[in-house]
Amino acid sequence: MSTTVLELSDVTFRRGQTQILHGIDLRIGAGEHWVLIGPNGAGKSTILSFASAQVFPSSGTVDILGERMGRVELQALRRHIGHVNPRHPLRSNLSVREVVLTGLTGTIEWPMRWEADSGDVAKADDLIAEVGLRSRADAGWKILSQGERGRALVARALVADPQLLLFDEPTTGLDVAAREQLLETIDSLSVTSPQLTTLLVTHHLEEIPESTSHAMLISDGRLTAAGEIAEVLTSDKVSAAFEHPIDVGFADGRWSARAIRNRPVAV
C-alpha cells in the first residue's frame, strides 16, 4: 500500500452561511496522479486550497505528507508542495530562469538581497530544458506565450523537489497546440519523477493527461465518485455529476465528453 500523501476525513467547509463542502473523504497515495472534475462552483478550488495548505476546513481533518493541518507550521509544509497556477500574478519582467528560481524562495517576485548559487542555477536550467524551454531561458516573462508560461511554471514548481504537485486548470487560455505541449510535459513527470504525486483540477475531460491514474467527481460540494480513473469516468457518473446527459469516450489514452441530446440523466 502506498504512503498516504493527502487525506481528507469528513471535511466540511462553510463560507458565512453558505455550505461549500459536505463530508469529504479522500485518500491520495504517493506516486498517484489524480484529476478532480466537476462543474463550476462545485467545490474544486476549495479542495485544492486544502491540498496546498492554504485553507483550514470548518470541520474534519486534513493530513498532508503525514502532517495534520492545525498541528504543523504551514510555511514549512508548503515547501514540499508545488503549485502550478496559470494566473501567476507576476508583474515584473523576470526571465524564465529567474521565474523558475523563485520556486526556491516561494515568492512571486525576485527577493531582495537573495542570490541563487551555481547549483541552483544549474538545476533550474536542467528543468527548463526538461520542459522544452532551453532556448527561452533568458526570455522575459512579458514576451512569453501563455503556453511557454505554463511550462515555465511547471519547472518553477519542480525546482524545490516537491512531494505533491498541484495543477489548477493549467491549460486555461491555451490554444490546442500549446495545450498538447503542456499535457506532454505533465505526462513526462510520471517517468522523470515517479514518486511525485499530482492532483490536477479541470472541468474538461479532454484536458486530462494520459498518465492520470485516478479521478474524483464533485458535485454541489459532495464527492460523487473517487478511485481508479476507468471506474470513475463513466458516462453515468459524469452525467450525474454535471446533471446533464454526457457520453464519455476513451481512445488512444485520452478522454472525451459529448453532450447527449434529449436523454434524461439517471437519478
Per-residue pLDDT at 267: 54
Q: Which residues, 6+ apart, have CB-to-CB distance to 211 below 8 Å?
A: 33, 186, 187, 189, 190
Per-residue pLDDT at 203: 86
Q: 1-80+164-267: what fold? A: Rossmann fold (3.40.50)
For every residue of 209-237, DSSP letters joined together read -TT--EEEEEETTEEEEEEEHHHH--HHH
What residue has cell string 490536477?
Answer: 200
Per-residue pLDDT at 231: 98
Per-residue pLDDT at 261: 78
What does the alpha-carbon distance between residue 146 and residue 155 come to, in Å, rounded to a whole number? 15
Q: pLDDT tens string for the chain (267 positions)?
A: 569 999 999 999 999 999 999 999 999 999 999 999 999 999 999 999 999 999 999 999 999 999 999 999 998 899 999 999 989 999 999 999 999 999 999 899 999 999 999 999 999 999 999 999 999 999 999 999 999 999 999 999 999 999 999 999 999 889 999 999 999 999 999 999 999 999 999 989 999 999 999 999 999 999 999 999 999 999 999 999 999 999 999 999 999 999 987 666 555
Three-state DSSP at 262 gives coil
Cβ–Cβ under 8 Å, residues 26 and 223: yes
Per-residue pLDDT at 66: 94
Closest of 209, 161, 182, 202 to residue 47, by C-alpha: 202
Per-residue pLDDT at 2: 67
> String of b and e for 172-205 (b: at least 16 CB within 10 Å)?
eebeeebbebbbebbebbbeebeebbbbbbbbeb
Per-residue pLDDT at 260: 87
Per-residue pLDDT at 266: 58
Q: What is the pTM of this model?
A: 0.92
**19 burial class (0-12, 13-18, 19+ CB within 10 angstroms)?**
middle
Q: Domain limits of the chain?
A: 1-80+164-267, 90-161
Distances (CA, A) of 89 to 85, 108, 263: 9, 7, 43
